[in-house]
Every structure is written in structure tokens, then in C-alpha cells.
Structure 1
């Protein structure tokens, strides 16, 4: 997702919290080293940027999308090496039976047709922000909204095989939204054991890699993240570690100081959550090398597996 709009403003400059970063870095060092080796082998372009401050604003008009096999909309028919279960598919017996996971596919493919609705301001505790945005896209027009739904379907399949009950905040089945406050409410009402919001960034070319966004401690208005800060960090660290291991991707070279972890208090989806929740930016859609991964069905399956294994590790303790 681009750092523009409701949950996408640039992180404000802040002094580094050395102790927290040291702990996070230590948790990720073994996997991150392997990720960097593979990353360099693929020809990393380097060039760290300025923490997403030059992000590209998403277009308000529908992009042209090529009709390759990887670009087929996710649905009940198999795509690549994943099978997308229907929303009503029952959870199987398994180690996660009884656990509820809410998957939040960032944005909605139809948001661009409803600018008035998604520009409406909602209260996120710390301030007011737009309901939602259109999201970003690759330079070739593969949209973030399409990416997030595809990965969400793959992730659901993997989690249901482990016995989890999986719910979506949206499945391309509504004309726009939901707003960021409603997305948080869906996880809260489901009493989810874990919530993951899936995104892809829209930063400058040369800015590469993934990062997991954790909730900061916030107690303002309707926002009270105190009870979820610690479990959310545990969830985020486990997802980041498994994402490195499974995908071979490196932590972001433009935010997170190489840890793959970023803490923010300006995201309504985190501020208003009462259950453990994180965001994951799977890569930068505006960088050609990251985009080549994000548009690959085989890589998206790895991304889903990396996220899934982190969730399973968190829920099993």
C-alpha cells in the first residue's frame, strides 16, 4: 500500500528505540541473513530511500491489467499452485481447530468508483483519516487490491487445512470499503485470535523488501492498544521470521532499520483493534524487481505460506 490516505501517511520522524530494535533484530537475524543472501543473489539494486516519504499516490482510475494466467482474479477455481476455498468452506480438523483468524485484504478493487465514500473521514482514536484508499499498483497496472485478495485466498486455504476458522473483512464482494474502522471492528467482533492485514507498498523504485507493521501503545478516544501491543509484536516477529525463510525476501531497505519491523500509531486498523493484529507490506509494487515477485503466482504462494507459518507458530505458542 502506498503511504497516502487513511492508513498510509508517512511515518513521522522518530528517535530510534535502540533496545526494542535490538530485540527485534536479534529475533530475525538467522532468517534475515539467509534472506539477504538470496536477495543479493537476485541482484538487489540497493539505494535505500527516505522511509516512504516519496510514495506514489494511487490512481483514481482503473488501471489496465494484462490477461496473463497469474493475473486471473482469485476465485473458487485453482490458480497456479493454490486452490481458493469458498468463504463458507468449513475448517478441517487440525492443530488450529477452535482458533479464529481474520484476514484483512487491503483495499477493495471497486474503491476507485466510489471516491466520495472512501474519502469520508473516520475517527481512528489519534485523529481523523479517510475511510479507505484505492491502493497502489505496479507500473504495469497490477493492482494492490488484486494482489491482496489473491494472497488472502491462498492464506485461507493453508490456515483452514490447519483447522482454523478463517474470516475475511472483504472478498471483493462489496461495492467499496470497508472503512478502516469497520475493518478493525470485524476482527474485534469475531474475537479473533489473530488478524493480519495484507498489503503491498508504493514507494520509490530501488526501495525494496517487506516489512511488518506493529501497533504502538495508544490510549486516545476509542483507541486503546495497551492490551494487544505485546501479543501483536509476538505475532509480527513470527510472521517476519517465517516470511524471510519461506520467500527468500529481505527486510525492507527503507523502513525498519533492517529488522523488517515498524511500529506505528497512525493506522486506524491497528489503533482500533482489541485483538492481536499486524499489517504486512509484502514488497514494493513500484520497484521492478519486487514487482516481478508480487506478480508471480508461485511467489504469492510462498508469501501466503510465510504468513501462514508465522500465524501457526503464534497460535500454537
Structure 2
């Protein structure tokens, strides 16, 4: 999602001012880099290789690697990957609600007027939705996200969770708009929500990143109540996604942490429930594209997301 659009304006990496959230995120850094090194060292990286330029992004901070992953109160991605593996068995999530948001829609290509309509995301107005990106061979982001969403739904339902999708199959024919996607999670009183995407950055840019909500308090948007739990959810997913897929953290955003904070995404700004985005890999890079188009790897991606969500729900 490296194009200009509602929830996908590319974020230009820059070194932001360090504030309270920077300090909080600083302790999360080692999990992605150190965790990957350990993972590769034991031969776990054979299933994956390494998600989307982000221009109007506002990363609220990523910081240098501290000396120990245990410095973080929320836990590092590597730590959370280990914790998730100890989660209780099937039907342990009975009563929990998870909303999965497969990014974009195949029908958006035929409904450009509808998806170009501006909607209010709290801080400003943006397009209802966009078409998404694709691999050079034409495998679309919309197909990828729905496939992974179906796999993730199956895994979570086996754990006893109630799962709702913002779109499924050919319904709706286009969209939904980004504000509607947030509303679906809110109306479901979701215990956790995840929006699934893949990037369209330049070749050579590889890896995944999880996008966390930044501080937004404007118009209809107020992310302050969900920032803490969303950060916890995103950190756990980053750890288990790394562990299960072998895909390393992004080498072009997030400074190697696998975590990026943004305030320009309507799907996060308007959410009242814990929610994150995940960019699973870069569709425009040949190595990442080979993974994203693999059935076996997409199953690993769904497993990585599921493990992180399960871990979060057991602790929340």
C-alpha cells in the first residue's frame, strides 16, 4: 500500500522528536532485530524471507536498541512470540470477538468514483478506499488479504473466538470505506481488530511491519483509550509473525523494529477497540512476492497473526 490513498500514504522515514511514546517504543526495538538473528541462527528462517512505503506517515518514534529485550514493560516481539506458544488450547477464546479487515476489494477497480469519495477520518478527509497494490505478475493485494483473512478466521474460530470480517467474497461489491471498516469493529465491540495489507514499495525494500495508532484527538477520532492495548496487540503480533513466517522486520520503515506508529489512517483513528494494521511484505520485491503468492507461506502468515492475537486476548 505504497500509494497515495485513504489508509496507505507512504511514510517517509525520518528521525522524530523523542517523547513519552518514543520511550515506550524504544524498549520494543530489540525483539524484532535480535529475535530475527536468533531465529535465523537456529535455522527457523527457511520458510520466509523478508511491506509498504509509508509519505504522510507520522511515526511517533522508534529508538535505538537497548541492551536487553526485558527492558520493555509491554515485552519485546521476540518475548511475545515465545509467550504466545504457551497459549491455552482450542475453545479457550469463547466469548471473545475478533474483527478481521482484509484490505481493499477486488471490485474497487470497477468502482473508482465510489472509492474516491472523501470520508472524515477525524483529522481530515481522505478517499473512501483505494484499489491496493499488486505483484508485478498481477496478484492483487485485495486477493492476498482476503485469502489470509479466511485462514486467520479459521484458526481463531478453532480457538473458540467469534470472528467477523469487514468484507467477504464479493460482498460488498466495493469498499467498504475506511470509516465503515472502523465502525464494523466498533459496533462488534471487538476485543481485538486487525487490518491485513501488503505493501507496494520499491524493489529491494523487504520485510513486514505492524502499524500502531498514534495519538489522535480531533473530530470523531480519539485514539487515546486504545493506544496502550493496541501497542500490546501489535507487539505480540510482530513477535509471532516473525517467529512463524521467518519474514524479517521491514528494512525501509520502523528502523528495524517491525513497528510503526501513524496518525493518518482512518481505520485506526476512528477505532474505539484495540486495533493494528499489518503490512505482511512488499509485493513489488521479487523475493517477498514469491512468499506472498505461496499458499504455504500465507498459512504461516495467518498462524503468526493468530498466535499474537490469542496471546493478547489471554492477557487482556
What TM bracket, shorter-length normalisation? 0.7 to 0.9
Confirm or deny that 1:33 pairs with 2:33. no
- Stretches of 4+ aligned residues off by more than 3 angstroms: 26-30, 34-45, 49-53
- Secondary structure, counterpart of 2:249 in structure 1: coil
- Secondary structure, counterpart of 1:110 in structure 2: helix
Return the offset for 1:3.
Answer: 3.6
Return the offset for 1:22.
Answer: 2.0
Partner of 1:146: 143
Partner deviation per Cα, 1:273-309 (whole Å, 9 max, x = no partner): 0000000000000000000000000000000000000
Confirm or deny that 1:111 pairs with 2:115. no
Q: Judging changes above 3 Å, is the alpha-carbon distance between structure 1 residues 223 and 36 closer, same or farther for their aligned structure 2 residues? A: farther
Cα distance in 2 for partners of 1:9, 1:29 equals 25
Cα distance in 2 for partners of 1:40, 1:245 equals 8
Cα distance in 1 for partners of 2:52, 2:174 equals 31
TM-score normalised to the size of structure 2?
0.82
Return the offset for 1:44.
Answer: 7.0
Residue 293 of structure 1 contacts residue 299 of structure 1 at CA under 8 Å; is this kept in 2? Answer: yes
Partner of 2:10: 10
Cα distance in 1 for partners of 2:189, 2:3 equals 29
Cα distance in 2 for partners of 1:220, 1:309 equals 33
- The number of equivalent residue pairs is 277
Residue 36 of structure 1 contacts residue 249 of structure 1 at CA under 8 Å; is this kept in 2? Answer: no
Return the offset for 1:135.
Answer: 0.3
Return the offset for 1:33.
Answer: 2.2
Q: Judging changes above 3 Å, is the alpha-carbon distance between structure 1 residues 100 and 238 closer, same or farther for their aligned structure 2 residues? A: same
Partner of 1:206: 204
Partner of 1:61: none
Partner deviation per Cα, 1:71-126 (whole Å, 9 max, x = no partner): xxxxxxxxxxxxxxxxxxxxx96110000000000001100000000000001011
Residue 263 of structure 2 contacts residue 269 of structure 2 at CA under 8 Å; is this kept in 1? Answer: yes
Return the offset for 1:175.
Answer: 1.0
Q: Judging changes above 3 Å, is the alpha-carbon distance between structure 1 residues 32 and 44 closer, same or farther for their aligned structure 2 residues? A: closer
- Secondary structure, counterpart of 2:8 in structure 1: coil
Which of 233, 238, 250 is the equivalent residue of 2:248? 250
- Secondary structure, counterpart of 1:197 in structure 2: strand
Q: Which moved more, 1:118-127 or 1:3-12?
A: 3-12
Partner of 1:162: 159
Partner of 1:193: 191
Which of 94, 99, 105 is the equivalent residue of 1:102? 99
Cα distance in 2 for partners of 1:249, 1:175 equals 32
Partner of 1:302: 300
Which of 257, 272, 275 is the equivalent residue of 2:273? 275
Q: Judging changes above 3 Å, is the alpha-carbon distance between structure 1 residues 41 and 233 closer, same or farther for their aligned structure 2 residues? A: same
Partner deviation per Cα, 1:228-286 (whole Å, 9 max, x = no partner): 00000000000000001000110000000000000000000000000000000000000
For structure 1, the 5+ residue unaligned runs are 54-91
Q: Judging changes above 3 Å, is the alpha-carbon distance between structure 1 residues 3 and 23 closer, same or farther for their aligned structure 2 residues? A: farther
Residue 101 of structure 1 contacts residue 164 of structure 1 at CA under 8 Å; is this kept in 2? Answer: yes
- Secondary structure, counterpart of 1:313 in structure 2: helix
Superposed, 1:8-87 pairs within 5 Å as 8-11=8-11, 13-15=14-16, 17=18, 19-35=23-39, 51-53=53-55
TM-score normalised to the size of structure 1?
0.82
Residue 52 of structure 2 contacts residue 281 of structure 2 at CA under 8 Å; is this kept in 1? Answer: no
Q: Judging changes above 3 Å, is the alpha-carbon distance between structure 1 residues 15 and 36 closer, same or farther for their aligned structure 2 residues? A: farther
Cα distance in 1 for partners of 2:197, 2:274 equals 17
Q: Judging changes above 3 Å, is the alpha-carbon distance between structure 1 residues 135 and 215 closer, same or farther for their aligned structure 2 residues? A: same
Return the offset for 1:28.
Answer: 3.7
Cα distance in 2 for partners of 1:186, 1:232 equals 17
